[in-house]
A and B are shown apart, each in its own frame.
Chain A
Amino acid sequence: MTEKGLWVMKHIAIGILGVAALGFMASAASAGTLDTVKQKGFIQCGVSTGLAGFSAPDDKGEWKGIDADFCRAVAAAVFGDGSKVKFTPLSAKERFTALQSGEIDILSRNTTWTSNRDSALGLDFVGITYYDGQGFMINAKKLPGVNSALQLSGAAVCVQSGTTTELNLADYFKKNKMEYNPVVFEKLEEVNAAYDAGRCDAYTTDQSGLYGIRLTLSSPADHVVLPEIISKEPLGPAVRQGDDQWAHIARWTYFALLNAEEAGITQANVDEMKTSADPNIQRILGTEPDGKYGADLGLSNDWVVNIIKAVGNYGEMFERNVGSGSPLKIARGINALWTKGGLQYGPPIR
């Protein structure tokens, strides 16, 4: 081939490459999550594969729990209808990829808020729907005399992989100069089954989770949760980073739940509250003349009314799913409102 021929070939090649590249280039800029969600008509919500009190299907196949209800609250805020949610059960390992890839719109799956997850994983946590801490559960019948986590040296400990729990466990035993055999599974059901079968001496996860899991064991009464809490586990929903509007909607849905509880607005009295003369309640429920707090978020002005009608306020959600109205019977503790000595504090809607 002549030199000129070579030159031509080279440029043709570059040209083809360029065209191919242009043709393949998918448009990276996508529409906001709110528009996408409105277009498809429902919210795709990532939940756990079954953790009582947080997200677990009941005998009718309906998802129950705080985390599931939070997604319903967001759906109510967006569509005025809490049932416009589709649930995707995810293992601990699958959850972040599912959110990153756009498979789900919101991750509401008892997930611990950490700096690394907030900054390096492309997620934005919107709040702390449940303040938790990691604990241990043992079979008191098989291990009489063990009443502290500090007596667990040499034990086999069941834990779910890819969780902060797994890391806290390693830190706790290292700090206290104790040995242990980790027995690690990917799926919650596998961990539960292995613990129930006696493969491990202790089970570790968030304390709320331990109470929920205890109910599913073959003889719940034999198992006790040890008193030690070895970590801070602020659990909350997360959305994809970089979509501020969607993050605001999720965050303010959570704050609205708290504000409603603080103002005494419940599922039962929300309609009569609409006629209230209290300016604070008027602002929350969107009945204030000229108020447009809902519209500013890209929602309707009665968004909080819809949320409360769908799931009740935060307190109702808590009692129904994990508190006195549930088999778990967990006390509000630090999850009480700030006015009652807890940590739950909703910035004002105004």
Chain B
Amino acid sequence: MAKTNPEVDEITNTQKTINEFSINIATVNGSGSQTANLALIRSIFKMGIPVSGKNIFPSNIQGLPTWYKIRVSKAGYLARSQKTEIAVAMNPKTFTDDLDDLAPGGVFLYADHIKEPIPREDLLLCPMPVKALVKQAKPPRELRVYVANMVYVGVLAYLLDIQLKTLESALDFHFKGKQGAVDFNLSVIRDAFQWAENNLDIVSPFKVQPLNLTDGCNLANGNTAGGLGTIYGGMHFLSWYPITPATSLPEAILEYAPGLRKDPETGKSTFAIIQAEDELASIGMVVGAGWAGLRAMTATSGPGLSLMGEYASLAYYAEIPIVVWNVQRVGPSTGLPTRTAQGDVNLTYYLGQGDTEHVVLIPGSVKECFEFGWKALDLAELLQTPVFVLSDLDLGQNQWMTPPFEYPDTPIERGKILWEEDLEKIKDDWGRYLDLDGDNIPYRTVPGNQHPKSAYFARGTGHDDYANYSEKPEDWEEHLDRIKRKVDSSRTMLPEPEITTRSGSKNGIIAFGSTDAAVREACDYLAAEGVKLDYLRVRALPVSLKVLEFIREYEQVYVIENNRDGQMHSILSLELPGSASDLVSLSHIDGLPLSAEWIKDAVLEEEKS
């Protein structure tokens, strides 16, 4: 291979290629490559090296191209990298593209039965005898296609020095101890490893070497974390309807709640789950449950959220606590249902008819998905309003390195609920919408309360302080204004923004949600080029006053987001019209998680102009 290319020299510089590279694995979806890919990233993780895995997949069950991008980074950069140093080509249909995308000096593994031309000379080539190795393993016919993927696992293990024993523990975890499956897959991996050792004459410059940088961490996705957080938040009632990429959140609750939420005294379940007929019904059930005193939640994505608009709007006005997770994907309609975006910021914040502005929590890590899972339920009941949790496909479905989940540090908050004995103490008439405490949050009763004064009639129609039907102009205006003040006052109760400063920063950068990793990485690159930025991550809407202070502090603040129109930018501009001209929207949407490279380039361009 050509050694004259300076880029190749750079890439083969050992310092830079140990524990610092990306692998792009191209397969056909439905071929079971997920098992192979998870085994790889788990093994690398177990070796103590920071790693992330991103599934770039089609909306399809079998037969379309799918990619899995593994990023290995001793520096801890776990966002999607635009650069690929190692490619595994198992899919003839994408072979040429996969080849083209590879960085000079990269390693190209491919199934040797794919007979496509390879016009590049700046790569290390590794044809793999996939069919022969599968045949040698004699798998049952129906497993043939699946075990083929274990071939590249074995070859990569050889090329990159991935330990076989960590692969074994990864498979053991994956198959939940099913020894037969573990043994069989492992035997294919060993055969492939053996073949590579005996036959390959290339030496990969990219290697993994054990570190201890993942100690005390787990590999998990945000949806599982959100589901678990919900369970620890005392969720009573979940109603949901399947939709990518939210589905795995309710499914995590389905998996874990039966074991975790049995009353030890009676052995009965302290929760109920119902799969609804659609999102209109799932939110309807949740609103009914929330009204009746259950900590109720649902999870959906953009299209489902649109259908939920009317009930969410009613819940906002009738002041009913509910929690709605929106795991965003690319819209509208189906859009790119299996690709990620932050395109529902406005839809979620303003969901409803008339005037609505909701409380929205925005987790930026798997750990925060757990935390906001329980916190959302508390906030909904404390504020008696819908609380939305805005996640996305990248955070929800992909594998992230995360510290262990932290047990809630505050007790369950049920807010102002009056039971029989409370009503007994109230001499005058009790009013559902009376602001007794002057904090804009009234008291509520819930069905089942047997006190003769307990009942009230909930409705979307105008009502007075006593929940009586009213079309009086002043009643409508006063109530809508109080609700506005209530949601406004939540700014101090919601998760504060996370601020990271660098000395000498002249400008700031604001982001939210899953782009956190890419923004941090970009800030490092920018600092290296002399552009120092202080970074603020918004964690909730309506925004904290700290966000507004931050914006005022800098000459220019870049707002990074994974959508077309800069939706967060527009919300911040409305919050602080006087500083709107200092806010620079840098938004981008193509279905992929934002990369540090894109953010760096976008900021540099602005800095130059």
B partners with A: no
Residues on A lying within 8 angstroms of B by beta carbon are none
Residues on B lying within 8 angstroms of A by beta carbon are none
